[in-house]
Amino acid sequence: METDRSELFFIAFVAALAPLLAEIPARFRVPVVVVELLLGILIGPHLLDLASPDGLVGMLGELGLTFLLFMVGLEIDLGKLQGRPLTLAVGGWFVSLAVAMVSMFIVHSIGLIRGSPILAAVALSTTALGVLAPILRDEGVLDSDFGKQILAAAAMGEFGPLVVISLLLIPAHGTVIHTLFMAIFIAAALLAAYMAIRVRSSKLIDALAHTLQSTGQLPVRICIALQALLVALAATFGLNVVIGAFAAGMVMGLASQGEGGMLLRQKLDAIGYGFLIPVFFIVVGMRFDVSALWASPLVPVQIISLLGLLVLVRGAPAPLYRQELAAADKLPFALYSATGLPLIVVITEIGVSSGLMAPERAAVLVSAAMISVLAFPILAGRARKRHLIQFEPSSPQDLAKATQKESKS
């Protein structure tokens, strides 16, 4: 018990330290997720050995994983992704997955990267919506046409891999029974979504909102209960719990649309990003075997290759956007879309725990993902700014020509 208390202190301390370190230096801000992982590595058993990712700490990490996926589902606003952006995002993600599958089978066959090619391909097809959204907001492009295309692609880059991962980790049921269980779970999730939409349009949501100002906090408790219900239902039906948590987030996202749900979302943000989610990333860092990075001379080559594959895989759908994106925006689109740390961490954790991925391979993949979060958004932002400065019109005639050229493209 005394050991658990000291370990919880170190985790709480680095969780509080991470956002402070992420803010400095101001000109090169590191995403807080990366800082949490690095601090977790530092206090973990492979370096300072101040805490161990087992027992109570490990259980809190699992809770953080389910809450992270719940928040991912909550952040996806299906209403803003309707029409052509959603169609392009869905088609583009399938193109990315196909390119990733072919690429991973090739590198696996030549022995460059060992491990489960399918699981690695799914990891390469992800995009970090939770990381990209604040970056795009700070750069002032979140509400632009370019930003909407990125958000749609990022949303599909989170939803698609989660569904595939849930289907890949099939338990010891027969295919027919598993399919039946999947259909029952989807029906239950759709029923919950229908009820959420009905509740949103009734006076009940206003009545529940009053308890957010009291010790009852009923809407928050309902969210947690729904999350626990769908996670338990998914586990009972032999599905992976990730799909249950994600479905619960999407259902609550439907119920909490508008100003009435803003306070509820803020409270869920506080629980998730203020407590459970940082614990998950810190625990993942504690499990990160640093020695795997110099266990083989091929590791630097593998990391560089994975970074190139991330850009190739998520940039492959760019030709589909020939009418939506200017030629100069296609490289930034690929770089933004290739930013995928949180879900890559989730997928590698699931792969290692299920025996589908070796820990040393997971370490290489997570290392490449951390570099992608650090480098790709910065490179994408600079590429767009360079293009805008280079082609900024200096006179009304130039402005008219630029507008006419953009309308044609």
* DSSP-assigned letter for residue 240: -
**CA-CA distance, 295 to 4, in Å (whole number)?**
31
Q: How far is CA 362 from CA 68, 98, 127, 297, in A?
A: 19, 21, 17, 17
Residue with the two structure tokens 């725990």: 353
Residue type for position 100: A
On whether the 2-168+276-408 domain is CATH 1.20.1530.20, my answer is yes
**CA-CA distance, 142 to 152, in Å (whole number)?**
11
* DSSP-assigned letter for residue 189: H
Query: What number of other Cβ atoms are within 10 A of residue 315's Cβ?
Result: 20
In this prediction, residue 398 carries a pLDDT of 44
Q: Are 4 and 53 in contact (CB under 8 A)?
A: no
Q: Residue 230: which region, alpha, beta or left (left: phi > 0; alpha: psi -120 to 50)? A: alpha
**Residues with Cβ < 8 Å from 326, sequence gap 6 or more?**
406, 409
**Residues with Cβ < 8 Å from 147, sequence gap 6 or more?**
136, 141
Burial class (CB within 10 angstroms; exposed 0-12, middle 13-18, buried 19+) of 395: exposed
Domain locations in the chain?
2-168+276-408
**CA-CA distance, 345 to 363, in Å (whole number)?**
9
**CA-CA distance, 54 to 153, in Å (whole number)?**
36
Residue type for position 204: L
In this prediction, residue 143 carries a pLDDT of 72
In this prediction, residue 232 carries a pLDDT of 84
**Length of the chain, please?**
409
Q: How far is CA 264 from CA 83, 140, 208, in A?
A: 28, 26, 10
Of 297, 293, 273, the C-alpha closest to 371 is: 293
Q: Euclidean distance between the first and final Cα of the chain, in Å?
A: 65
**Residues with Cβ < 8 Å from 281, sequence gap 6 or more?**
33, 36, 37, 40, 64, 342, 345
In this prediction, residue 2 carries a pLDDT of 62
**CA-CA distance, 330 to 312, in Å (whole number)?**
12
**Residues with Cβ < 8 Å from 406, sequence gap 6 or more?**
326
In this prediction, residue 94 carries a pLDDT of 94
Q: Per residue of the chain (409 residues), give pLDDT as tens.
A: 566 788 889 999 999 999 888 877 666 667 788 888 889 999 999 889 898 888 888 888 888 888 888 887 787 766 666 678 788 888 999 999 999 999 888 887 877 666 678 888 888 999 877 677 767 776 777 778 888 888 888 888 888 887 787 666 655 455 566 667 677 777 777 787 777 776 665 566 666 666 777 777 888 888 888 888 888 887 777 666 777 888 888 888 877 776 667 788 888 888 988 999 899 889 888 888 788 777 778 888 888 988 999 999 999 998 888 888 888 888 889 998 998 877 888 888 878 877 778 888 888 888 888 888 878 888 888 887 776 665 444 444 443 444 444 444 4
Q: Are 29 and 23 in contact (CB under 8 A)?
A: yes
In this prediction, residue 279 carries a pLDDT of 92
**CA-CA distance, 257 to 247, in Å (whole number)?**
16
